[in-house]
Structure 1
Amino acid sequence: MTRAILLLFLSTHILLAQTAKISGNVANTSQQPLDGAVISLLKSKDSTFVKAAITESNGNFEFLNVKEGSYLISISHLTYQKYLSKAFEVGQSDLALPSIQLREGEKMLAEVKVTGKKPFVETKIDRTVINVDALISNAGTNALDVLEKSPGLAIDPNGGIRLKGKTGVVVFIDDKPTYLSAEDLSNYLKSLAAGSVETIEIMPNPPAKYDAAGNAGVINIRLKKNTVKGFNGGLSLSYGQGTYRRSNNSFNFNYRINKFNFFSNLSVNQNNSYQDLTIWRRYFQPNTTIFSSAFTQNSYIQRNIGGNNAKVGFDYYASKKATFGVVLTGFINPSHVDVTNKAKVFNASNEVTSLVEAISPTDKTLKNGSINLNYAYKLDSTGKELSTNVDYIHYQATTAQSLTNSLFDAQNKFVSQSVLVSSLPTNIDIGTAKIDYVHPLASGGKFETGVKTSFISTGNVADFSDQVDGKLFPNYEFTNSFNYNENINAGYLNYAKELNRLTIQAGLRFENTNIRGHQLGNKQTKDSSFTRNYNNLFPTLYMQYRLDSAAVHLLGFSFGRRIERPNYQDMNPFSYPLDRFTYYGGNPFLQPTFSYNFELSHTFKQRITTTLQYSIAKNVISETNEQRGTIYYSRPGNFGQRISYGISVNGSFQLAKWWSLNLYTEYISNGFKATLYGQKLDDSRFYWAVVPTNQFQLKDGWAAELAGSYQTTFLLGQLLIYPIGNVRAGVSKRIMKNKGTLKLNVSDVFYTNQIKGDIRNIANAEANWFSYLDTRVATLTFSYRFNKGKTLNLRQTGGSDSEKSRVKA
């Protein structure tokens, strides 16, 4: 296979050698480089569009793979007059154009207010980019709220993320994975202010440079990092009121002086909310439909989640070729959760036999600290670059919890009480190192390669005690200690080439995985351990073809093989109680999920993208549910197979000068096949979802937004989720000479974003639930930005590409 890949790369390179590169530089009349100018390459004969480019921060631009002929270029910039060059000839040799100077425009300010606004959604060959500040309703919210509004993404009440109907999404922050379980990731994203987020990159099939983790794809959240000289940045302050209050505040700044560039991103947040959850369970005599008993439970859960996040770092530009950087990140996120459960137990005559009340307060503090050292060296002026990243990440979680169960008879007379006290410390250490090399080819293609290694060590202690008459006695049924070690070694090759109207990007990644888990046991339970070792190849392929020279119609294709490894703590075999009737446990027999993902797309005028998708996954990791007597067990398990296919459309429409609409919709089938605890599951179902976002640009700095979402019944393994939808609205006003903005928005205006569903394929039982959430929130936000100076290139740092998303602290 290696020979075949190299032969493909070499033959393509030779075939396309008869082209040239055009390069140039754009500045203003003060000789300052202009960033973001749009350069259009046109045929001189009839001004037919050939291709476009955008200037870098240093004003440079280039066109690759240009055929021989006569051309001219057109340049446009928001605050400068349009430029049209004279005709020039391109031969077989590369052409460097003379420096171009643009004159300032006289009446451009009014245009900047409209055309200078970034679109909500941008589509690229291997990802979709969401510009967070484009939506008024994102102001004063948190990163999880932003994800929920993004096309193709859905969030369940436990914080699980679905991308186009599929679970198994890996979340990165600035190209570095979060290493957190669904619940802890949800709490972290709630602690991260939306004002700290620049963009969200959605990649169903990430390039080979990214770790192969995430069978549904990767979401990369890029935090704001100012890129101009001097002292500059932004401030965002907010207050939100639902049933409970919340506040998300952020501050980011950048200071560039001489060869040093200092940057920081800080946020302080408090998010208080509730969940009112009711569960019904009905039991039947074995292998019959004869009713035997029932159980109903109402849980009122009040959550108080704090967040204190910091990212600081600097880049040192040692020379024009060498840059060294250090990035420090960390957070301290305290939380307090009060759970009050009230349950009724019924007999076969549907009469109440007992009442149970459970009170469970939990105090948890999750801490994180990490350091990244990065170095980049430009080998020559053609773009050859060698970069290295070394990361060390430490997580520490301390959890103190108690569970008080009180039992009453049918007449509500006290019968008995039990108190279970627990301390659950967790420590996770992660080290990663990687080297990447970029090599532009003379024909205009680009070759990339790199290697990476990562080491993960986790220690989890569950110390449970029964409290009797104020004294504590060890509970060995639940007490345990679990250690986990993992090493992943990887290497990749990636090749990209633009062939006239066809753009190709192909990659291959190899990963070697080594795992060891050790459950230490206790006086009642023996030690146990397991090991896993496996090697895998992960190919990726992207193709984009322009059907016409003006790129009115674009065809795209992507393919990728992905893996989802189990969360570290999910392989701990012990169980622990959530309440008297519900236990949660791990599964040491979990296998990784492997998936094959295909997408075929058509884009019209860069405004409407229609995508056909197909995905097949084996050993899908998902929550499973089992009933044993009166105890309900929830644990991760492997579903035999999931097949997902369907169509999605994302369109941007300018309905009027003042009214724009972004409309996303998908119609997708999810099918599951598995045998769970003796019960066969073989079911598939289509669902439909639609997400319209209306934006209104009004006079005198006013703007408004009206948006929402709706999803029909959705199948997710054993869960059947009923239709759900919401409407949100917002208004904004620019103030302080357009440097400040006031925004007011209301989420879930009609309080319809409440989830309910059924739990199916449980032996001799059936269950369903309904959940009220604190989703209707009014938020007032003030934001202020200050900047001046010359734009600098953004640098991507971080070498830990998938490990963070799997921590379950």
Structure 2
Amino acid sequence: MLKRYTLHSLFCVFSWSSFYSTTLFAQTFKINGTVKGSSQKPLEGAVVSLVTAKDSAFVKAAVTETDGQFEFIGIKSSVYLLMVNHLGYQKSLSTPFEVDKTDVNWPTIVLQEANKNLAEVTVKGKKPFVETKIDRTVVNVDALISNAGTNALEVLEKSPGVAVDQNGGIRLKGKSGVVVFVDDKPTYLSADDLANYLKSLPAGSVETIEIMPNPPAKYDAAGNAGVINIRLKKNVLRGFNGGLSLSYGQGVYRRTNNSLNFNYRVNQFNFFSSLSVNQNNSYQDLTIWRRYYDAAGKFNSAFTQNSYIQRNNGGNSVKAGFDYYASKKSTFGLVLNGFYNPSSNTVTNKAQVLDAKNEVTSFVEALSPTDRIWKNGSINLNFAHKFDSTGKELSTNIDYIHYQSTSDQTLTNTILDAKNQFVSRSILVSYLPTTIDIGTAKVDYVHPTSDGGRFETGVKTSIIGTGNIADFFDILDGKPSPNYEFTNNFNYNENINASYVNYSRNWKQWSLQAGLRFENTIIKGHQLGNKQTKDSTFTRKYNSFFPTLYLQYRLDSTNTHQMGFSFGRRIDRPNYQDMNPFSYPLDRFTYYGGNPFLQPTFSYNFELSHTFKNKITTTLQYSIAKNVISETNEQRGTIYYSRPGNFGQRISYGISVNGSFQLAKWWTLNVYTEYINNGFKATLYGQRLDDSRFYWAVIPTNQIQINGSWSAELASSYQSTFLLGQLLIYPIGSVRAGVAKKILKNQGALKLNVSDIFYTNQIKGDIRNIANASANWFSYLDSRVVTLSFSYRFNKGKTLNLRQTGGSENEKSRVRS
């Protein structure tokens, strides 16, 4: 019934748009022309901007082809100006002209070469920190000084509506289940591995962050909280161009993030590459308290543990590729990516066990060093063909990605009596190799329509195979003996086939985008047995439709007031390894396990927004999700089990405001705030959970322009008590500041910033709804860091057209090792 209703609704949307486009809304027109140099040769790469004559408001931009031609389609009746820019030439500004009854064929525009003897002209312009579009919010990373010398994960923490916990888990507007993309390609990583990868990605290599609570149908339907797409920088000029970023940060431990990228365009080839070398060292000082009760609720014992976790994470990544422009309409591309991330973590635990009188009965000391290597290699082949100047385009992407991880861990537990006398010692060693192979292929087609609309459609298939081996050994009398309680071997295979259609169009006051995506999922899991456990397998198949709808209405001709509405259905599939039924120990008292019975999460998300003068956006949101996948916790005797589980229902609703205020010529204030209620209903291990809570979060950012070369930033963040399933997280906040100086004729910059100045970004909370037990924790993090960074960009050449590559759009976000 739901599928039939969804199809009928989408059909009505398309019928509605087609009917009104031909009857009630204004006709649209086309503007085309040619740009040449003073030698009368066509100029490729000139930027042609269409602005309104009344107030110079930006409408559209186009980049000239190799023959110097440009074209605008879907233009409404009004009076406009054409502004043309090209490196090495003087800017051209046309006289006002009216678009009314026919298309406009503009006379040839001839640009005059810039006078090299004139004094250098400095063009001052600054991108806003946040831009709002019909289907996404765009964060310009370089707009914040405090992003210099940091990494991509730290940049995400400063983005509006995004929260990152101490384990790297990402939430968007209070909801977990976010899928992270890099250059329109999913990262295929679990929360821990994604956090480590983003820490190895320097902020200096990130151009923008696109936040999409309801992504368009072109994107995979995964991620019930939405999609965050990180776009990396790519030089867009002819000749040899590039950028260098170096930084050193000092907290309790040191960290450094360095990157180099370059682009070289010669004849029909465009070569590009980037390299990053990073080291992020940190610590976590974690204290856990657990109390145990009998069936009558009477306290009978307790456990406290302090864990000092020292993390040394290296990150080395490389990207290389080229585009071959076979003609002005056809382009072939090859992109190679890879990273090599070694890490070593050492956990030192000291615990004590207490009886019903709160007297110590024993001490436990544990040492757990882990050495891990996490590496990746991928190849992307892509092709794009433009059929004509109207924008009809066919693109194909084929991706192959291989992940490999090896982890060696030793867990040594020493038990002492109440008088600190030695009782016993156990040693457990493990070897945990993981391989993941992912192949994807997709085809997309874009077809602009004669009435100014845009039709998109495409198909995609992905095939994933994972292999996970866990070999555990007890060291007895100096010799290894297999431990069959933890040893396991789990293989997982998945095939997802998808297709989509999407239509968008702008009218005088309305904008519409509507889409429908279909996905077919087939999964198979095989848990190989050992001497104590039999083989087990499972197979699942399901088909789903995912509609999306965006509406925007401009209440006046000056765009002072705009209303927006969006709706989308999403899915959140389990991480590949989360369905591995075996458990493994984090320490003597805590085990982590998988869950082969996990079901996918389905959610419905609604947003209603109002934008004032493109500066203040107020959004009402409502979301309902079934079978939410989240961490669950269970106590069995003295062992605490953590594993993923399904919460029956999560309802989230609230309001958010994102605003930019020019308080003075030199002072800009950006503020994001949200007030949201999260409610959960579930039965976990016999315990009923039915709770909801409002929380408030606010992030004010002050940007100060001291003079032409000096600027500064002062920002803070605060979040009140937050409910996340069984977890209740207490208020947390921080303050950061930075200063920047342009150098080397404005091509370079020095930046100094300090994060968490007052050392308040420390997390604590309770774990609730555990049978016969209660638990809470407090964690100190290496959050106060002073960072000095240097960046430099060089370029010589002419502007190139950019083209998106990458066909894998979901699978990376679910890798777990």
Q: Same-fold call, TM > 0.5?
A: yes
- The DSSP-based 3-state class of the residue aligned with 2:63 is coil
Find 2:179's aligned residue among 170, 174, 179. 170
Distance in 1 separating the partners of 2:286 and 2:653: 32
Q: Give 1:548-587 correspondences, 5 Å limit.
A: 548-587=556-595
Residues 552, 605 of structure 1: 8 Å contact kept:
yes
Q: Which residue of 1 aligns with 2:262?
A: 253
C-alpha change, 1:494 and 1:768, in structure 2 (3 Å) is same
Distance in 1 separating the partners of 2:80 and 2:255: 55
Q: Which residue of 1 aligns with 2:522?
A: 514
Find 2:17's aligned residue among 12, 15, 30. 12
TM-score (norm 1): 0.96
Q: Does 1:206 align with 2:219?
A: no
* 1:159-180 Cα distance to aligned partner (Å, 9 max, x none): 1000000000000111111111
Q: Which residue of 2 aligns with 1:734?
A: 742
C-alpha change, 1:49 and 1:546, in structure 2 (3 Å) is farther
Distance in 1 separating the partners of 2:261 and 2:742: 20
The share of aligned pairs that are identical, in percent, is: 72
Shift of 1:95: 2.6
Distance in 2 separating the partners of 1:208 and 1:630: 48
Give 1:399's aligned amino acid: S
Shift of 1:75: 3.6
Give 1:87's aligned amino acid: F
Shift of 1:102: 6.4
Q: Which residue of 1 aligns with 2:165?
A: 156
Distance in 1 separating the partners of 2:594 and 2:334: 38
Q: Which residue of 2 aligns with 1:128?
A: 137
Q: Which residue of 1 aligns with 2:803?
A: 795
Shift of 1:65: 4.0
Q: Which residue of 2 aligns with 1:474?
A: 482
C-alpha change, 1:801 and 1:698, in structure 2 (3 Å) is same
Distance in 2 separating the partners of 1:182 and 1:401: 20
Distance in 2 separating the partners of 1:700 and 1:86: 33
Q: Does 1:765 align with 2:773?
A: yes
C-alpha change, 1:611 and 1:10, in structure 2 (3 Å) is closer
Residues 53, 62 of structure 1: 8 Å contact kept:
no
C-alpha change, 1:129 and 1:243, in structure 2 (3 Å) is same
C-alpha change, 1:108 and 1:529, in structure 2 (3 Å) is farther
Deviating more after overlay: 79-88 vs 408-417: 79-88
Give 1:329's aligned amino acid: N
Give 1:137's aligned amino acid: S
Q: Does 1:141 align with 2:155?
A: no
Q: Give 1:591-740 correspondences, 5 Å limit.
A: 591-740=599-748
Find 2:51's aligned residue among 32, 36, 40. 40
Q: Which residue of 1 aligns with 2:382?
A: 374
C-alpha change, 1:459 and 1:108, in structure 2 (3 Å) is farther
Residues 719, 758 of structure 1: 8 Å contact kept:
yes
Q: Does 1:504 align with 2:509?
A: no
In the alignment, structure 1 segments of 5+ residues that lack a partner are none
Q: Give 1:229-248 correspondences, 5 Å limit.
A: 229-248=238-257
Shift of 1:252: 0.6
Distance in 2 separating the partners of 1:648 and 1:57: 40
Give 2:328's aligned amino acid: K
Q: Which residue of 2 aligns with 1:337?
A: 345
Shift of 1:76: 8.0
Aligned length: 800
Shift of 1:36: 5.1
Distance in 1 separating the partners of 2:172 and 2:763: 18
Distance in 2 separating the partners of 1:247 and 1:536: 45
Q: Which residue of 1 aligns with 2:289?
A: 280
C-alpha change, 1:743 and 1:70, in structure 2 (3 Å) is closer
Q: Which residue of 1 aligns with 2:531?
A: 523
Q: Give 1:375-524 correspondences, 5 Å limit.
A: 375-524=383-532
Deviating more after overlay: 6-15 vs 178-187: 6-15
- The DSSP-based 3-state class of the residue aligned with 1:221 is strand
C-alpha change, 1:331 and 1:292, in structure 2 (3 Å) is same
Residues 64, 498 of structure 1: 8 Å contact kept:
no
Q: Does 1:262 align with 2:271?
A: yes
Deviating more after overlay: 537-546 vs 53-62: 53-62
Residues 13, 443 of structure 1: 8 Å contact kept:
no
Deviating more after overlay: 19-28 vs 545-554: 19-28
Residues 397, 806 of structure 2: 8 Å contact kept:
yes
Residues 424, 463 of structure 1: 8 Å contact kept:
yes
Shift of 1:383: 1.2
Deviating more after overlay: 389-398 vs 730-739: 730-739
- The DSSP-based 3-state class of the residue aligned with 1:619 is strand
Distance in 1 separating the partners of 2:119 and 2:499: 49
Q: Which residue of 1 aligns with 2:123?
A: 112
TM-score (norm 2): 0.95
- The DSSP-based 3-state class of the residue aligned with 2:447 is strand
Shift of 1:402: 0.6
Residues 35, 64 of structure 2: 8 Å contact kept:
no
Q: Which residue of 1 aligns with 2:97?
A: 87
* 1:655-687 Cα distance to aligned partner (Å, 9 max, x none): 111111111010011000001011111000000
C-alpha change, 1:416 and 1:612, in structure 2 (3 Å) is same
Give 1:295's aligned amino acid: F
- The DSSP-based 3-state class of the residue aligned with 1:112 is coil
The CA RMSD over aligned residues, in Å, is 2.1
* 1:409-446 Cα distance to aligned partner (Å, 9 max, x none): 00000000000000000000000000111111111111
- The DSSP-based 3-state class of the residue aligned with 2:306 is strand
Q: Does 1:183 align with 2:221?
A: no
In the alignment, structure 2 segments of 5+ residues that lack a partner are none
* 1:319-362 Cα distance to aligned partner (Å, 9 max, x none): 11110000000100000000000000000011000000010000
Residues 39, 54 of structure 1: 8 Å contact kept:
yes
